[in-house]
């Protein structure tokens, strides 16, 4: 059977571990040597994703301290595979005892049982747990630093929770200071009052023992023009293949996305013009990508995240052992809304993919 937890062409990312095993981690191979890394920044990115900060996220608290087992010496990459270990310190496996045979609707318990014949670790969702995204955050934080040293800024925000919306990114002129601010925040939004409204929607879902989904919008500025390629090696397919690996992501749109289906060509085409010798476009419905190749305009994409499947309302399920229908009560600690915590994860995934694309383009001059 083929491996499913590895990704990349030049950067090879491999994620390992299970939610309630001793540790989870990532191996990142193919990084340039001699790149200075700020360890505090990597921890800060992981802290944005870590659970247990407030009532909008799962009460499971994890220190999420990354330990670098190889690939870093004196805070510089060595060029050897970089191995990041994160210990699991706060597990309550008894909460998951019933899920081996009575799968959670909307989660991976049933399909994992089919695929692995019941040998998979169901505790805390095992290898399917959202906790595995801590590894992606750590690996992405490393790649993001390399990109930042080349003037590439990545930032995202919670665009919506349920039907409560933040303001969208401006499509042509996105200040890197805005992206830098968002990429440090725990509940990143552009319009300050959006957070209060969204938190109220999340709290309402939590009180109803339910959950709520939403969208994340990511923008990238400073990424060079002319990177990518047609067909399967294009920027959209490369980004999508890692972004769809984030658990609970159910949709991705680039630029105007599904709105293009309603537009005329004259409305959707982004007119070109020269500004100070640089080719720009007046609008950016393309999200900075044409023919799978970057135009030099900001990259813009959005992810749709489903409502957390583990809800404490009683649900209809089945018992795989007795082959009968059975009601299920989910125990354990779960986010009523994973959207805010998915923002740093999506930024991290984008950083890994964009560094991989840069290296594919042979752009190693200053790497
Ligand atoms: C940051 C993050 C945290 C998550 N936390 C939970 C959680 O607490 N409970 C849960 O049921 N699902 C959680 N998920 C989603 C599940 O891992 C995911 O729905 C499940 O693996 C099934 O995969 P699918 O939704 O992609 O089909 C989380 C996802 C992310 C990205």
CATH of the domain at 270: 3.60.150.10
**In this predicted model, what pLDDT tens digit does every residue of 151-179 receive, in sequence order?**
999 999 999 999 999 999 999 999 999 99
250 occurs within a structural domain: yes
For residue 335, the ligand 1 atom closest to its alpha carbon is 8
CB of 50 closer than 6 A to ligand 1?
no
Contact at 8 Å (CB) between 168 and 217? yes
Give the side-chain half-sphere CA count within 13 A for 238. 28
247 Cα–ligand 1 center, Å: 5
Using the mean position of ligand 1's atoms as its centre, give its distance from the Cα of residue 308 in Å: 6
Nearest Cα residue to atom 20 of ligand 1: 107
363 pLDDT exceeds 60? no
Q: Does residue 365 sit within a domain? A: no
Residue 97 has pLDDT above 80, yes or no: no
Structure tokens at 237: 């397919």
Q: Is 335 in the pocket of ligand 1 (CB under 6 A)?
A: yes
* Lowest mean pLDDT across 113-127, 186-200, 202-216, 288-302: 113-127
Rounded to whole angstroms, the Cα distance separating 45 from 185 reads: 9
26 φ, ψ to 5°? Answer: -140, 145
Q: Measured between alpha carbons, how far is 273 from 15 in angstroms, rounded to an integer?
A: 43
Alpha helix ranges (H) inside the chain: 39-49, 109-116, 133-148, 176-182, 192-207, 235-243, 265-268, 339-360
Instruction: Give, for ligand 1, the residue of 18, 50, 129 to mutate: max count of ligand atoms closer than 8 Å to Cβ.
Output: 129
Question: What distance in Å separates the CA atoms of residue 156 and residue 357, rounded to the nearest whole number?
Answer: 20
Asked, for residue 1, whether it belongs to a domain, the answer is: no
Binding residues for FMN: 127-129, 291, 306-310, 333
**DSSP assignment letter at 196:** H
Ranges 89-93, 111-115, 248-252: which has the least confidence: 89-93
**What is the pLDDT of the chain when averaged over all its residues?**
93
Please report, in range form, the residues annotated as the binding site: 49, 55, 127-129, 291, 306-310, 333
Q: Is 248 in the pocket of ligand 1 (CB under 6 A)?
A: yes
Annotated binding site for NADP(+): 49, 55
Query: Is 232 part of any domain?
Result: yes
The CB of 284 under 6 Å from ligand 1? The reply is: no
Q: Kindly tell me if the per-residue pLDDT of 299 is higher than 50.
A: yes
Rounded-to-integer distance, Cα 304 and Cα 120, Å: 27
Q: Which residues contact 165 (CB under 8 A, 6 or more apart)?
A: 159, 194
At 342, give phi and psi (nearest 5°): -80, -15
- Domain residues for 78? 6-360
Give the chain's domain count: 1
| Cβ–Cβ under 8 Å, residues 281 and 172 | yes
Q: What pLDDT is stored for residue 366 in this prediction? A: 43
Helix/strand/coil for 41? helix
| CB of residue 107 inside a 6 A radius of ligand 1 | yes
Going by CA atoms, what residue is nearest to atom 9 of ligand 1? Answer: 334
Determine the average pLDDT of the residues in 190-216. 97
Closest ligand 1 atom number to CA of residue 104: 11
> Is pLDDT above 70 for 12?
yes
Question: Going by CA atoms, what residue is nearest to atom 6 of ligand 1?
Answer: 130
In-domain check, residue 286? yes
Query: Is residue 143 one of the residues assigned to a domain?
Result: yes
Q: Residue 255, SS3?
A: coil
Give 290's pLDDT tier (boundaries 50, 70, 90).
very high
Q: What is the rounded average pLDDT of the residues 3-12?
A: 93
pLDDT at 365: 40
Residue 1 confidence (pLDDT): 46
| pLDDT at 367 > cutoff 70 | no
Task: Please tell me what DSSP assigns to residue 59.
Answer: S
pLDDT above 60: residue 115: yes
* Residue, of 2 and 282, whose pLDDT is higher: 282
């Amino acid at each position: 059977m083929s491996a499913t937890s590895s990704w990349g062409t030049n950067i090879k990312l491999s994620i390992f571990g299970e939610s309630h095993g001793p540790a989870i981690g990532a191996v990142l191979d193919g990084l340039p040597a001699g790149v200075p890394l700020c360890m505090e920044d990597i921890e800060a990115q992981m802290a944005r994703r870590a659970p247990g900060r407030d009532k909008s996220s799962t009460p499971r608290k994890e220190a999420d301290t990354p330990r670098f087992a190889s690939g870093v010496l004196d805070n510089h990459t060595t060029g050897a595979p970089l191995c990041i270990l994160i210990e699991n310190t706060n597990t309550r496996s008894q909460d998951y005892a019933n899920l081996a045979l009575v799968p959670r609707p909307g989660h991976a318990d049933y399909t994992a049982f089919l695929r692995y014949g019941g040998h998979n670790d169901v505790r805390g969702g095992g290898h399917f747990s959202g906790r595995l995204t801590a590894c992606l955050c750590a690996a992405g934080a490393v790649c993001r630093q390399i990109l930042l040293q080349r003037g590439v800024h990545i930032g995202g925000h919670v665009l919506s929770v349920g039907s409560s919306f933040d303001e969208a990114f401006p499509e042509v002129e996105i200040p890197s200071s805005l992206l830098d601010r968002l990429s440090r925040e725990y509940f990143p939004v552009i319009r300050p009052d959006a957070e209060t409204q969204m938190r109220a929607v999340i709290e309402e879902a939590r009180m109803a023992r339910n959950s709520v989904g939403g969208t994340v919008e990511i923008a990238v500025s400073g990424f060079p023009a002319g990177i990518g390629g047609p067909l399967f090696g294009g920027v959209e397919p490369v980004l999508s293949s890692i972004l769809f690996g984030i658990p609970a992501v159910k949709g991705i749109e680039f630029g105007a996305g599904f709105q293009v289906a309603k537009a005329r060509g004259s409305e959707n085409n982004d007119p070109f013009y020269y500004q100070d010798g640089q080719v720009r476009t007046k609008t950016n419905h393309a999200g900075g990508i044409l023919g799978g190749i970057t135009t030099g305009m900001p990259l813009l994409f959005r992810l749709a995240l489903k409502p957390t499947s583990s809800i404490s309302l009683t649900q209809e399920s089945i018992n795989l052992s007795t082959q009968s229908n059975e009601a299920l009560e989910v125990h354990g600690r779960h986010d009523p809304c994973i959207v805010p915590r998915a923002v740093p994860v999506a930024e991290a995934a984008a950083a890994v993919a964009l560094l991989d694309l840069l290296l594919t383009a042979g752009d190693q001059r200053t790497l």
